[in-house]
Amino acid sequence: MTDVARTTATILRLGHQGDGVAHGPLYAPRCLPDEQVSGVQEGTQLTDIRIETPSEHRIAAPCRHYKSCGGCQLQHASDDFVASWKLGIVEKALQAQGLETRFRPIHTSPAQSRRRATLAVRRTKKGAMAGFHGRASGVITPIPDCQLLDPDLIVAIPLAEALAMAGASRKTPLSVTLTTSETGLDVLVRDGKPLDSALRSALAELAGQHGVARLTWEDEQVAMEQPPLQAFGAARVCTPAGSFLQATRDGEAALLAGVLEITKGAKRIVDFFAGCGTFSLPLAANAEVLALESEPAMIEALENGWRQARGLKKITAEVRDLFRNPLLPEDLKPFGAFYEAAVIDPPRAGAETQVAQLAETRMPVIAYVSCNPVTFARDAKTLVSAGYRLNWVQVVDQFRWSAHTEVVASFTLDD
């Protein structure tokens, strides 16, 4: 048999997905800058990689599943290297827009703190298997000692496997989303068999056996021992199944601390892309809030949480698609007095149209939370061009060991 020719390369940098990039470009997963590597070239990908000369930043992965699991991308790199790289991603995105600012120290969530995970669960000849898919693979890797997830999620893996035994087909794996809450586990299952009376009965029994707060099958709630509650300031909110939630409590607290600092002293605040009230409800401890969100179920959850909480100021919640129908300067008039601050936390696409309108309102203070440095930098350029000062940025790494980066940033209007 003829040996497959191997290619040698020097890793120049990391790409935005965390892969090493050599000349070509040639992409080499789980490699670091300045490493000498060899592998089999398949198009622009390097496979069967050997590290010939390791980087000084290379470490032994803390999780024994890392080699086969696709859940993490950067466990082979030191914490200091990852922190510096993530800060650099945001800094370069701003520089591409001609912007500079002061960076606060990065905040990184600890290991075993992810409060939500979506597991792939497949029936097997001997039972079931739950875990994460391997990198670019349909193979499921079991993760009993995962160093990323909250231990309460690890304990629930047998439940995920039991759900597959009850309601998965042999051909298609279940997608089981597990979320921790103050009252127990919130479970959402997709890609399962259609519900019938026998399956409903089996699912309800499993939920009871495993102490599940709520079990949702596709879009139908099949069991709820008690509402799965999330704490947003003084309020407790039963979030809709599968709705947006910050990845870790620790990361959420870091983002919230930045938002509260930026908007301190404001008595009337607009919260764009408010979700279920992650920022609106804590802000309402000291300010009246106008909360805008496109999903009616999330607005309903926010309002219910506000009504049941004590000591909060007024929240006016409105269902509004801010992409198709951005809030205009004149739209604030029906809500009364002048708003003193805005919070905006858009999805990865950013909020180009809404930010342009927000700049025209001459809002004195803006707290911008972003999960995409590129669209954040684009929107920041719009605000700076309109007369705003970008005072500081803090990177919040709540997606530990991944290429994902989040920021909270302070803008004030220069008069």
- Residues serving a catalytic function are 371
Pairing of strands 268-272, 341-344: parallel
Q: Tell me which residue of 116, 220, 126, 107 sits closest to 164, measured CA to CA.
A: 126
Query: What span, in angstroms and rounded, lies between the C-alpha atoms of 298 and 316?
Result: 14
Pairing of strands 102-108, 116-123: unpaired
Q: Tell me which residue of 129, 111, 130 sits closest to 61, measured CA to CA.
A: 111
Partners of 89 in the β-ladder: none
Type of residue found at 288: E
Query: What span, in angstroms and rounded, lies between the C-alpha atoms of 53 and 11?
Result: 10
Phi, then psi, of 106 in degrees rounded to 5: -65, 145
Pairing of strands 235-238, 229-232: antiparallel
Asked whether 307 and 235 are in contact (CB, 8 A), the reply is no
Helix (H) or strand (E) holding 96: helix 79-96
Structure tokens at 303: 């309002």
Asked whether 22 and 46 are in contact (CB, 8 A), the reply is yes
Structure tokens at 29: 């997963």
SS3 372: coil
Type of residue found at 299: I
Type of residue found at 351: A
Phi, then psi, of 89 in degrees rounded to 5: -60, -45
Cα angle: 16, vertex 19, 24; to 5 degrees: 95
What string of H, E and C letters represents the secondary structure of 64-87?
Answer: CCCCCCCCCCCCCECHHHHHHHHH
Helical ranges in 235-390 per DSSP H: 249-262, 280-283, 296-308, 352-361, 373-385
Cα angle: 366, vertex 371, 373; to 5 degrees: 80
Helical ranges in 214-295 per DSSP H: 249-262, 280-283
SS3 234: coil
